[in-house]
Amino acid sequence: MKDCLNKLPEEIKDLIYLISDIACKDNTAVYLVGGFVRDLILGVKNLDLDIVVEGDGIGFAQKLAVEFNVKLVSHKRFGTATIMARPHLKIDISSARKEYYPQPAHLPVVSAGALKDDLYRRDFTVNAMAISIGVKDFGRLIDFFGGRRDLLNKKIRILHNISFIDDPTRILRAVRFEKRYNFNIEPKTLKALKESVRKNMLCKVEPQRLRDELILILKELHPLDQIKRAWKLTGLDFISSRLSAFDKKTCCLLERVEKEISWFKNNYHHRRHLDDWLVYFMCLTSSLSIDDVRASCEKFVFRAGEEKRVLIYKKIRTKFIFSLSKEKIKPSKIFASLEPLSYEVILLLKAKYANKFFQKHIEDFLEIYNGARISISGHDLHALGAVPGPDYKKIFSRVLNAKLDGSVKTREEELELVKKLLRTRIHTDKKTD
Ligand code: ATP
């Protein structure tokens, strides 16, 4: 694999050679493993180095951290550590370990092991290869379980029959890798997967671990195939037992959601980060009642901001959709309706309701109104004699509404409006223009 390593971008290649030198001085056997090796063979870009050390992984990670002059985050219990060698280059370092599962679907008991033990505890053959970066055998591929052959034949294969019983999260991982690389889950693996589903093993896993794997699926570049496959294979009832079986309606909505997300990213990527995965999650759970969705969010321990966005979507009423589906609405009304919503909710609504006026109002909101600014500031209000406090907010809102609706255009007109409002104290009597 030396040739493949030498073809990597300079920055990563230099890093690997540097780690190799440090390992040599330290007399430590160090290997590249996991997804990095898989993607190297496939020729897919991967900037996350995964390193296994036969011996003290955290000790070796500390030496790397000193060499790169960066901080180290370590997890003593698992013998793992992470450093950001460069702002965009992450290195995960772990001690080679053995695992056994005292109870199905629970976390394994871990002890020190050799490289082969470490590779054997992994999910699939394609993720269970290593490349030595020792000076003597730099670039040697170590492939005990036929991972390279499976990569060439595009197969996802577990390493032993009870793999999905030991760790049912691998079911979601199998689907993710299968669809990401356009591979196939090979027949015996598929049979074992279905057996684990039949035994309801997914529901025995700690929900946060399932959440993490589900989010990884929803974060894939094109997650639709993964979602559909996972849904058909598992029923996704680990999200909620009330989730209906795979149906055409949600499937069509998912497709429209994917289009809207890519439309948004093409046009508004500079606005702010969009949690695409959350839009897909809201879509998947759209047939559930608000109480069931809340229960899922709580079970998965979503962050407060995530749960809030999901629940706001569930609270949207037909009246709201109806009022935004009319042809003629004042821009200030469109702004007032959409501004409190997150982009995730707005995109899902756009995917769901095809009414052409509704679509147009959302597009106008994103294109024009959402970025609209007024020219006056608190200094201006102060200079005009306004009393600092809640009135400021009301006045700003009145001026912005007037600007959105086109009744004021220039800074002078804005100031005139403020004077008028202060004279009549109209801003305290009426909410909007
Ligand atoms: P990605 O490209 O999505 O990051 P990855 O293979 O690097 O894929 P990670 O989740 O970062 O995925 O895991 C790193 C490695 O750890 C995997 O390649 C696999 O060998 C191993 N691994 C991760 N999760 C499991 C699991 N549940 N069971 C067994 N091995 C696992």
Q: Say whether pLDDT at 123 is over 90.
A: yes
**pLDDT recorded at residue 272:** 77
DSSP state of 107: P
Start-end of H helices in 101-146: 115-120
Q: In sequence order, what are the residues at sequence separation of 6 or more whose Cβ sits closer than 8 angstroms to the Cβ of residue 44? A: none
pLDDT in tens, 173-203: 999 999 999 999 999 999 999 999 999 999 9
**pLDDT recorded at residue 429:** 46
Place of tokens 């002890």: 111
**φ, ψ for residue 425, nearest 5 deg:** 50, 30
Could you identify the atom of ligand 1 that is nearest to the CA of residue 169?
A: 27
**pLDDT recorded at residue 426:** 53
pLDDT in tens, 152-169: 999 999 999 999 999 999
Mutate which of 44, 50, 82, 165 for ligand 1? The one with the most ligand atoms within 8 Å of its CB, which is 50
Nearest CA to ligand 1 atom 17: 34
Mutate which of 47, 122, 163 for ligand 1? The one with the most ligand atoms within 8 Å of its CB, which is 122
Can you tell me the mean pLDDT for 303-313?
A: 93
**pLDDT recorded at residue 132:** 96
Go through the chain and tell me how many residues it has: 433
**Encoded tokens for 26:** 């330290």
Nearest CA to ligand 1 atom 6: 35
Confidence of residue 431 (pLDDT cuts 50, 70, 90): very low
- Measured between alpha carbons, how far is 156 from 126 in angstroms, rounded to an integer? 7
- Measured between alpha carbons, how far is 316 from 362 in angstroms, rounded to an integer? 15
Nearest CA to ligand 1 atom 1: 35
Pocket of ligand 1 (CB under 6 A): 34-35, 50, 122-123, 127, 167, 169-170, 173
Q: Say whether pLDDT at 277 is over 70.
A: yes
Using alpha carbons, select from 143, 220, 207, 205 the residue that is nearest to residue 175.
220
28 and 60 Cβ atoms separated by less than 8 Å = yes
Can you tell me the mean pLDDT for 401-415?
A: 92
Percent of the chain past pLDDT 70, that is, above it, reads 98
345 and 324 Cβ atoms separated by less than 8 Å = no
- Measured between alpha carbons, how far is 29 from 51 in angstroms, rounded to an integer? 10
The dihedral sign for the CA sequence 35, 36, 42, 44: positive
Could you identify the atom of ligand 1 that is nearest to the CA of residue 123?
A: 29
Confidence of residue 120 (pLDDT cuts 50, 70, 90): very high
E strands, 96-172, are 97-100, 109-112, 130-132, 141-142, 155-156
Could you identify the atom of ligand 1 that is nearest to the CA of residue 119?
A: 20
Burial 319-350 (b: 16+ CB within 10 A, else e): eeeeebbeeebebbbbbbbbeebbbbbbbbbb
Confidence of residue 24 (pLDDT cuts 50, 70, 90): very high
Q: Which amino acid is at 427?
A: H
- Measured between alpha carbons, how far is 47 from 12 in angstroms, rounded to an integer? 8
**Averaged pLDDT score across all residues of the chain:** 91
Could you identify the atom of ligand 1 that is nearest to the CA of residue 50?
A: 14
Using alpha carbons, select from 359, 341, 338 the residue that is nearest to residue 350.
359
81 and 57 Cβ atoms separated by less than 8 Å = yes
How much distance in Å is there from the Cα of 175 to the middle of ligand 1?
A: 13
Nearest CA to ligand 1 atom 10: 35
pLDDT in tens, 51-92: 999 989 999 999 999 988 898 999 887 789 999 988 888 999
pLDDT in tens, 325-336: 999 999 999 999
Q: Say whether pLDDT at 297 is over 80.
A: yes
How much distance in Å is there from the Cα of 314 to the middle of ligand 1?
A: 34
**pLDDT recorded at residue 77:** 78
Cα 54 from chain centre: 32
Model confidence, pTM? 0.89
> CA of 359: how far to CAs of 112, 318, 425, in Å?
58, 15, 37
- Measured between alpha carbons, how far is 20 from 134 in angstroms, rounded to an integer? 6
How much distance in Å is there from the Cα of 325 to the middle of ligand 1?
A: 46
419 and 384 Cβ atoms separated by less than 8 Å = yes
- Better-predicted residue by pLDDT, 405 or 271: 405
**pLDDT recorded at residue 236:** 93
Q: Say whether pLDDT at 430 is over 70.
A: no
Q: Which amino acid is at 331?
A: P
**pLDDT recorded at residue 87:** 82
How many C-alpha atoms does 420 have within 13 Å on its Cβ side?
10
Direct distance between the N- and C-terminal alpha carbons of the chain, in angstroms, rounded to an integer: 69
Cβ atoms within 10 A of the Cβ of 240, count? 18
How much distance in Å is there from the Cα of 85 to the middle of ligand 1?
A: 20
**pLDDT recorded at residue 432:** 43
H or E element: which one contains 190?
helix 187-198
Mutate which of 123, 124, 208 for ligand 1? The one with the most ligand atoms within 8 Å of its CB, which is 123
Nearest CA to ligand 1 atom 24: 123
175 and 197 Cβ atoms separated by less than 8 Å = no
DSSP state of 243: P
How much distance in Å is there from the Cα of 127 to the middle of ligand 1?
A: 7
**pLDDT recorded at residue 245:** 81
- Measured between alpha carbons, how far is 391 from 266 in angstroms, rounded to an integer? 39
Nearest CA to ligand 1 atom 27: 170
